[in-house]
Amino acid sequence: MTSSNGNEEQLLLTVEAAAKRLSIGRTKMFHLIATGQVRSVTIGTARRVPAEALTEFVSALLNEAQHKTSAA
């Protein structure tokens, strides 16, 4: 998909690309997917992570951290 300014924005990322965006390893990324912490889809035999799923995951981490700080 191409936005109006000409920059390409990937809607679906490989597991490796998603892991790189989060600065974590491939194995940890698969763990997050397996435990349902990060959403993913399968197209044929290919596993892909929606870019928005990474944003949701980071938001959930921030909310969790904020609640821990508030409770302390």
Cα 36 to Cα 72: distance, rounded to the nearest angstrom: 27
Beta bridge partners of 42: 47
Q: 2 in a domain, yes or no? A: no
Complete edge-to-edge strand list for the sheet that includes strand 12-14: 12-14, 46-50, 41-43
The model's pLDDT over 16-36, given as tens digits with 9 standing for 90+, comes to 999 999 999 999 999 999 999
pLDDT band at 63 (very low <50, low <70, confident <90, very high): very high
Has residue 4 been placed in a domain? Answer: no
Residue numbers of the domain that contains 26: 12-71
Q: Give dist(CA 72, CA 67) in Å, integer.
A: 9
How many structural domains are present in the chain? 1
Any domain includes 66: yes
Q: Does 22 fall in a domain?
A: yes
Question: Is the pTM here over 0.95, yes or no?
Answer: no
